Amino acid sequence: MPIITLDSAIALTDLATAKTFLKAPADTSHDTIITMLINGASDFINRYCGNGGDQINIKAIELTEYHDGDGDLITPVNFPINSITAIYEDLDRLFPAASALSVADMIIVNQKRQIRYYANSFLSGYGSIKLVYNSGFAQVPYNAEMTCLEIIRIGYKDIIENRDGITSRTVGGGSVAIDGSRLPKHILQKLEPFMRKF
């Protein structure tokens, strides 16, 4: 069986914590499937919290996005917005260094979910804003990690008992697709604070 690694960019828990939570064998006999479940559950949560839009990242990450210019407000995909690294405005969408706007002219508003250009307005144009920013949580919030562990437990139990709660397994890629329709509502309600609202 191939070695499956944890996708550290999105993983909302680690192997040791998941094994303890599941009361899994201390040896490595279940490590591959638990790692796949961590990756699958974390991916599901990030997509679910995107609320039908783009996938978000609950863990802190630097992202580059392109937005339409119009008005003085941008709503990035991910939140909370921790910092703005760079922002460019170019109607030709080439974004040379000369198209950089002053980050000092931007403020983060609406519970760290939007960026306001308080010194001016963005020029109206399709994809004319390039935004490089850091967002997400430096420490995975407790509710997000516990929800991930509860989803892992459901998938783990399904696999151990040979039930069909997993929509697909990709052993080579190290992932498991989670069927969200089978998850209890009380588990999904814990993700409400992390849902994309705009």
pLDDT value, residue 171: 47
Structure tokens at 49: 């919290």
Indicate the Cα dihedral angle 71, 60, 194, 34, nearest 10°. 150
Give the integer Cα–Cα distance in Å for 124 and 108: 21
Which of 109 and 56 is assigned the larger pLDDT? Answer: 109
Mean pLDDT over 120-149 rounds to 95
Q: Which of 47, 32, 42, 49 is nearest to 169 (CA)?
A: 32
The CA radius of gyration of the chain, in Å to the nearest whole number, is 20
pLDDT 10s digits, 87-128: 999 999 999 999 999 999 999 998 888 999 998 999 999 999
> If you ran DSSP here, which 8-state letter would residue 137 be given?
B
On the question of pLDDT at 162 being above 50, the answer is yes
Residue with token string 């979910």: 113
**pTM score of the predicted model:** 0.78
DSSP letters, 75-96, are --SSSSEEEEEEEEE-TTS---
User: Which amino acid is located at 88 in the chain?
Assistant: Y
